[in-house]
Each structure stands twice: as structure tokens, then as C-alpha cells.
Amino acid sequence: MKSNDIKTLTRSDLAAAITVEFRVTKSSALEIVEDVLDEIVSALMAGEVVKLAGFGTFTVREKGQRMGRNPKTLEKAVIAPRKSLSFRASSVLKNTMNGAFDR
């Protein structure tokens, strides 16, 4: 599969699916999608773990300061501490994906 063959799922696509499934207006569906995403972001910013059963778990990891190297100049540089978002897929999602690719 070429990279230009890959479809991207967007907020609009999610809203369209909600519109069909729950028979709500497109604007209501977009609002629902935005509200859900805002809630996830707020929880992550508060340091909470976001666990979506059957899908996966989002966590925020603290990365400490460390020494690195500029690959172009080979000069040593300090990499500042930062937060990193991590996602771990659930076994249900992994099994679903592997079953889909095995066919």
C-alpha cells in the first residue's frame, strides 16, 4: 500500500458516522466530537490516564532533561525536560487488527 493510498479519518468523518448512527444534525455531531476530544485533552493535561475500553490507554509521560547531540554538527546540546503522550492499544484492538489483516 502506497502512502498516498492511505485514508485519514477526520473529525468530519466521525461526525458523519454519528449523524448516520444517531440521526442527529451534522452540527450536533461535530459538537459531540469536539466535546469528547476536549474532555480527553483536559484529562491528559490534568495528568490523568485516559482508558477507552476495547480501544486503548493514553498516558502522559514526563521526560527528564538529558544530553543529546546535533546530528548535523555533532555538537552536544541539552534537551530540555518535556511531557510526551503515549498510547497503548488494547488487546481487543490488536486482535481485531490482526484478524483483519490475516484475512
The reported pTM is 0.78
Q: Which domain holds residue 28?
A: 1-46
User: Percentage of residues in the chain with pLDDT exceeding 90?
Assistant: 87
The answer to whether the beta carbons of residues 58 and 44 sit under 8 Å apart is yes
Based on the structure, what is the number of domains in the chain?
1
What span, in angstroms and rounded, lies between the C-alpha atoms of 16 and 18? Answer: 5
pLDDT score for 5: 81
Is the pLDDT at 99 greater than 90, yes or no? no
What digits encode the pLDDT tens for the residues 32-76? Answer: 999 999 999 999 999 999 999 999 999 999 999 999 999 999 999
98 in a domain, yes or no?
no
What digits encode the pLDDT tens for the residues 62-74? Answer: 999 999 999 999 9
pLDDT score for 3: 62
The pairs formed by 89-98 with CB atoms below 8 angstroms and a separation of 24 or more are 89/55, 89/56, 90/52, 90/53, 90/54, 90/55, 90/56, 90/57, 92/54, 92/55, 93/54, 93/55, 93/56
Instruction: Name the packing angle between helices 26-45 and 11-22 (round to 10°).
Output: 120
70 in a domain, yes or no?
no
